[in-house]
Amino acid sequence: MIFDFCTGTYNVTFQMMKRINIKVGDTAQVYKWLQRGDLNGVEDAQVTWNFHKFLIDENGNWVRHFPSVTVPTDTAITNWITAGSNTVSINKDEKINFEMYPNPSDGLAHLNFGNSANRKIIVFNALGEVMLNETTFNTNYQIQLKTKGIYFVLVNTGGNLSTKKLLIH
């Protein structure tokens, strides 16, 4: 029933769990890990209602949790998404330094490279779909995205690659 509603109403294509209890004996292992400090290595997190939020880093480490009343666009969540290990590179020696602002954004983000060079800019959504694929020589570039979500902005200068996360709210 939930699957049919989500796929039929919202065209959801990602994998979904079946409906489960999270506070009784048949609790799914992932929820046990999310809620129990002895399993996640950080702290207990009592889930009281739907839409509890958990921050899990790119290495699969439990970082923090927020109760249901916290909106997903709360600055504590969005700042964590866009800060810290925000830049990913294939090799540290190959990282391209560039500014991307504002981040989070309402849909328009600016890239500032500081120098002129031929560079390819590719923007992927969280599903890995290409949303933008452009080549530019300019030192400044604008990205316009209309759909809320987390995006990955890849910059390639012909062998040197860097990727930054961009949050549109």
Asked whether the whole model's pTM tops 0.75, one would answer no
Q: Map out the domains of the chain with their CATH numbers.
A: 2-70 (3.40.30.10), 87-168 (2.60.40.3080)
Residue 104 contacts residue 83 (beta carbons within 8 Å): no
pLDDT in tens, 17-67: 677 767 667 777 788 888 888 988 888 988 877 788 888 877 678 888 998
The beta-strand segments (E) located in the chain are 53-56, 62-66, 87-88, 99-101, 108-112, 119-125, 130-136, 140-144, 149-156, 161-168
Distance CA 23, CA 67 (A): 15
CA-nearest of 30, 25, 67, 26 to 45 is: 67
Non-local CB neighbours of 33 within 8 Å, separated by 6+ positions: 39, 40, 62
Flag whether pLDDT at 87 surpasses 60: no
Distance CA 164, CA 86 (A): 6
